[in-house]
Structure 1
Amino acid sequence: MTDAPRLHSPRLNRQLCFAMYSASRAATAAYRPMLEELGLTYPQYLVMLVLWEEQPRSVGELGEELGLDSGTLSPLLKRLESLGFVERRRSAADERRVEVFLTDAGTALSTGAAGIPQRLAEAAGLSGAELDRLRESLNRLTAALQSSR
């Protein structure tokens, strides 16, 4: 047996999956104090981002856009409703469909959240162009991996 390192053994620091996992954890940690100012968790912030873009959205649409199943999304929505930021209502056109609406407080919260992307960019120490390229690369990677399943 030799003490030389194996040439073909995988190395943690060379794994794309670990780099993405580490970056995701670091980004979530960077968001935490900013979102605490708004009274939101990171998953709640993601739901609010979708609703600030367009509302109402059905629970199914939210789940699809965020990649969350109803078992994960329902407690998020329940908490956001208890905080007074959203309201869930059955659709008048289809009783099976539950639509999610922003309340006035939820709409107002978007003003406080407006500066978060810039604050994160500053924390990351990357230019806007660098962040755009990174996001585009990650979106392409996600799409490619999802289509390969």
Structure 2
Amino acid sequence: MDGSLLLDDQLCFALYAAQRAVTAAYRPLLEDLGLTYPQYLVLLVLWERGETTVKELAAALRLDYGTVSPLLKRLQAAGLVRRERSARDERSVLVAVTARGEELRERAARVPGALLTATGLDGPGMARLREELLRLAERAEAAAARTR
């Protein structure tokens, strides 16, 4: 397998195919909530952390500001989040879930279990897979940092 250029031997392709398939499995679950997958991820961070800065939100999602900003604009237009300049630091923008966004949280709580059912994974299997993927992400980020 070392040095193989066969598509099916590539880790990157397996990850890409899995990511696309998982996102597709989420799609009908999130359509019921009126959310896209990236919007769902933003709300997950805000539900967990409460009010946060755009910079902290982008870091949590491993995205750049230019990617997060349009997501927040759409979520704000839908009435799910509010954005305002920090009183302490005018350069910083705070983001928080609105009451409408909090109401959506109850319905969204069904999504993880529905995904488990849809994929046939059990809780422990999903936890093991998630931990392996997070370790891989850490190693890949470290490798990328060494090559900059």
Residues 110-132 of structure 1 show CA distances to partners (whole Å, capped at 9, x for unaligned) of: 10100101111111111111110
Structure 1, unmatched stretches of 5+, are: 1-7
Give the structure with higher Rg (CA). Answer: 1
Q: Number of residue pairs matched?
A: 142
**TM-score of the aligned structures, taking structure 2 as reference length:** 0.93
In structure 2, the partner of 1:64 is: 59
Alpha-carbon separation, structure 1, partners of 2:4 and 2:97: 51
Aligned AA for 2:93?
V
The match for 1:53 among 24, 48, 52 is 48
In structure 2, the partner of 1:141 is: 136
Percent identical: 55
In structure 2, the partner of 1:18 is: 13
- Counterpart secondary structure, 1:65: helix
Aligned AA for 1:134?
L
Alpha-carbon separation, structure 1, partners of 2:4 and 2:34: 45
Aligned AA for 1:65?
A
In structure 2, the partner of 1:5 is: none
In structure 1, the partner of 2:79 is: 84
Alpha-carbon separation, structure 1, partners of 2:85 and 2:31: 30
- Counterpart secondary structure, 1:95: coil
Structure 2, unmatched stretches of 5+, are: none
Q: Which runs of 4+ in 1 moved over 4 A?
A: none
Confirm whether residue 129 of structure 1 aligns to residue 136 of structure 2: no
Residues 73-132 of structure 1 show CA distances to partners (whole Å, capped at 9, x for unaligned) of: 111000000000000011111111100011000011110100101111111111111110
**TM-score of the aligned structures, taking structure 1 as reference length:** 0.92
- Counterpart secondary structure, 2:125: helix
The RMSD of aligned alpha carbons is: 1.0
Q: Post-superposition shift, 1:69? A: 1.0
**Alpha carbons of 1:9 and 1:138: their partners in 2 closer, same or farther (altered >3 Å)?**
closer
Q: Post-superposition shift, 1:9? A: 4.3
Confirm whether residue 110 of structure 1 aligns to residue 105 of structure 2: yes
Confirm whether residue 40 of structure 1 aligns to residue 43 of structure 2: no
Confirm whether residue 75 of structure 1 aligns to residue 62 of structure 2: no
